[in-house]
Amino acid sequence: MRVRRRAQLVCRWDTDGLFVALPGQRRWLRASPDLTNLLQAATEWTDADDLAQRVGGEQSDRAQEAIKTLLDIGVLVSDDTADTPAPVWQHWGPVAHRFHIDARDANYLVDSPRRDEVATTITTEGGAPAPFKRYLDTPAVFLPRRPLPLRAPVEDVFAGRRTHRRFTDQPVSIDALATVLFHSFAPQRFLDGGMFGVQQARVSASAGGRHEVECYVAVFAVNDIPPGLYHYAPDRHCLELLDPTVDRTRIAALVYEQEPSYQGAFTCLTTAVAGRLSWKYRHPRAYRLWMYDAGHYGQTFALTCTALGLAPFQTVAFHDSHVEQLLGVDPDEEFAVYLLAAGHPPVSGDGLPVDHPHPPPTQLATADHTAPTNVPAAQEE
Ligand SMILES: Cc1cc2nc3c(=O)[nH]c(=O)nc-3n(C[C@H](O)[C@H](O)[C@H](O)COP(=O)(O)O)c2cc1C
């Protein structure tokens, strides 16, 4: 039998030594010098007995045992083992695959007696991150407190929500912007979050009520608000001025010039203050949480804009580092997440984007699936 090292192995080298990730498992194997030696020797297809002899010498029996174990756990492969990653991991690469594995199956301690114990440890440790960011030493535009009425029937809003890519020059009113920001980003009431303190209730759900998303608004054409870059303070419901020189050209440079990202009346650059999540959720799966949360915020933004007759757009096509530099945030603690923009739509009669033709007759591509074998067969009555 010929064996070799699996084509893609992810390793990490920290203060406890070198570790090899076990393929497909959330476990890591400490790489002793002997193991490192064996893996190095197994770079090319090699006869298993020759390999054991070469790396084990007089202890080739032990080396043979090790080779068998490494084959069982997939660190080595034999010529009859498939070693081609599934297409998704060929496309996204071994590091994304490792992250996917490490972020799976986190124990949420739901209904576990350890839940309170862990919560007590976290809360007594202190260091709870502030729920709101504030820029108090800069001029602020206080937004109208009364949101505009949203009277459109919900089913009309659902049916009308589309991604718009063209906007008119008509400015958006300060009331409309205030309404969008209030529903998308502001707490609407406060709840008792027990050990974790006061919890905010917003329109969007948020993992653990942590509400780690911050919103920065580049104003281009909003009545009564001077153009520039602002931070939206959801607790004060105001826009705190960060940079009056930011205009469409500066945003275009961050978004690979994709026009709908900066041609509306305003663009929201949202970020995640990761510490608000990581303080409570201390496992790699928490890295996913801000993505779920950003999606909720994005949908609330789009539906609110639609209900107001505005044209929403969203994208993740931006240069993260440049966005973070523009906002002046520490990219290790607060990172760019989602770009949400809006303006007035060119009138299309049906309210839908002007550039959306109906498709010609076509056939949808389908994939056939086989039900898993462990699903019990339906019982005949
Ligand atoms: C995460 C995300 C990123 C997107 N990025 C872009 C983008 O960069 N450019 C673009 O024109 N549309 C972008 N869109 C819009 C999608 O293309 C659009 O939602 C999809 O075509 C369905 O159309 P609809 O939103 O009008 O229903 C994005 C949507 C999402 C959810």
- Residues 226-240, mean pLDDT to the nearest whole number: 98
Decide: 316 in ligand 1 pocket, CB within 6 A: yes
Kindly give the number of the ligand 1 atom that is closest to the alpha carbon of 316: 3
* Cα gap 370→101, rounded to integer Å: 24
Same domain as 332, residue 188? yes
Same domain as 221, residue 313? yes
Same domain as 98, residue 24? yes
In a domain, 49, yes or no: yes
Q: What is the per-residue pLDDT for 322?
A: 98
Q: What is the per-residue pLDDT for 379?
A: 52
Same domain as 91, residue 32? yes
The pTM of this model reads 0.91
Same domain as 169, residue 315? yes
- Residues 111-118, mean pLDDT to the nearest whole number: 84
Same domain as 240, residue 145? yes
Query: Which amino acid does the sequence have at 288?
Result: R
Out of 33, 68, 102, pick the residue that ends a domain.
Answer: 102
* Cα gap 52→47, rounded to integer Å: 9
Decide: 162 in ligand 1 pocket, CB within 6 A: yes
Same domain as 147, residue 52? no
Question: Which residue among 267, 314, 338 is best mutated to probe the pocket of ligand 1, counting the most ligand atoms within 8 A of its Cβ?
Answer: 314
Q: What is the per-residue pLDDT for 380?
A: 46
How many separate domains does the chain show? Answer: 2
Average pLDDT, the chain: 93
In a domain, 73, yes or no: yes
What CATH number is associated with residue 232?
3.40.109.10
Decide: 271 in ligand 1 pocket, CB within 6 A: no
Decide: 300 in ligand 1 pocket, CB within 6 A: no
- Residues 119-138, mean pLDDT to the nearest whole number: 92
State the Rg of the chain over Cα: 27
Domain that holds residue 231: 128-343
Same domain as 173, residue 290? yes
Contact 325, 200 (CB under 8 A): no
In a domain, 120, yes or no: no
Kindly give the number of the ligand 1 atom that is closest to the alpha carbon of 353: 26
Q: What is the per-residue pLDDT for 375?
A: 62
Q: Using the predicted structure, report yes or no on whether residue 381 has a pLDDT greater than 60.
A: no
Q: List the one residue out of 202, 325, 206, 306 whose CA is nearest residue 254.
A: 325
* Cα gap 315→256, rounded to integer Å: 11
Same domain as 16, residue 155? no
Q: Which residue did the predictor score with more confidence, 223 or 111? A: 223
* Cα gap 346→169, rounded to integer Å: 9
Q: How far is the CA of 212 from the centre of ligand 1 (A)?
A: 23
